[in-house]
């Protein structure tokens, strides 16, 4: 898994001891891929339910270990949410990463389209944000949600990835 500007605290909170990453030609099992996608979509609907923490942990670990699914994480894609004191940012950031992974699994023909992969991750994160927003709003995520509502999110994602995220362009 290629991770740029990885959020160490996120992984410290959600994953314990991820093994070293290596490039291989191995494939993840179809059952694990399906389980991963199912969990990601479940997290979008019920991100704060009691039972989802272990599922989220499994999904993050699977994505970290999957030899054939790779995503690039760039915190700039979430519009500065890390600079805020937003209590739910770990699950929003995790969902961004997981949403990209689910997109790659569901659309392997688009796995190399960084704009599409990043957009899927940001949209998944915004879906989770909308589900938890009542607890505490985030000005940064509200701005992203407004961009989405106006149809401007794809342009933001494309521009941000190319200008601020390593590997963009």
Structural domain spans, the chain? 8-13+28-164
Q: What is the pLDDT, as a whole number, of residue 80?
A: 87
User: With bands split at pLDDT 50, 70 and 90, how would you rate the model's confidence at 133?
Assistant: confident
Q: What is the pLDDT, as a whole number, of residue 19?
A: 36
- Which of the two residues, 168 and 5, has the higher pLDDT score? 168
Query: Mean pLDDT throughout 152-162?
Result: 95
**Exposed / middle / buried, residue 63 (Cβ in 10 Å: 0-12, 13-18, 19+):** buried
Q: What is the pLDDT, as a whole number, of residue 82?
A: 85
Tell me the percentage of the chain whose pLDDT exceeds 70: 82
Residues with Cβ within 8 Å of 56's Cβ and at least 6 positions away in sequence, in order, are 14, 39, 43, 91, 94, 98
pTM of the model: 0.84
Nearest to 63 by CA among 108, 33, 86, 93: 33
- Indicate the range of 10-14, 145-149, 151-155, 162-166 predicted with least confidence: 10-14
User: With bands split at pLDDT 50, 70 and 90, how would you rate the model's confidence at 11?
Assistant: very low
Average pLDDT, the chain: 85
pLDDT at 20 over 90: no
Q: Ramachandran region of residue 2, left (φ > 0), alpha (ψ -120 to 50) or beta?
A: beta
CA-based end-to-end distance of the chain = 19
pLDDT at 14 over 50: no
| Helix pair 153-164, 139-149: axis angle to 10 deg | 120
pLDDT at 164 over 80: yes
Query: Mean pLDDT throughout 101-129?
Result: 97
Nearest to 72 by CA among 151, 6, 140: 6
Reported in sequence order, the residue ranges of 5-163 that DSSP labels E, i.e. its strands, are none
């Amino acid at each position: 898994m290629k991770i740029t500007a990885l959020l160490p605290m996120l992984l410290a909170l959600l994953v314990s001891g991820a093994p070293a990453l290596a490039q291989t030609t191995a494939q993840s099992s179809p059952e694990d891929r399906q389980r991963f996608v199912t969990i990601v979509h479940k997290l979008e609907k019920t991100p704060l339910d009691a039972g989802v923490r272990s599922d989220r942990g499994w999904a993050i670990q699977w994505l970290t270990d999957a030899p054939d699914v790779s995503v690039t994480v760039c915190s700039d894609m979430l519009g500065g949410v890390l600079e805020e004191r937003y209590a739910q940012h770990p699950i929003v950031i995790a969902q961004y990463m997981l949403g990209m992974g689910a997109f790659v699994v569901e659309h392997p023909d688009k796995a190399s389209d960084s704009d599409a992969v990043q957009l899927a991750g940001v949209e998944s994160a915004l879906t989770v944000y909308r589900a938890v927003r009542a607890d505490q709003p985030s000005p940064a995520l509200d701005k992203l949600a407004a961009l989405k509502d106006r149809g401007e999110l794809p342009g933001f994602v494309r521009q941000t990835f190319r200008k601020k995220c390593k590997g963009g362009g």
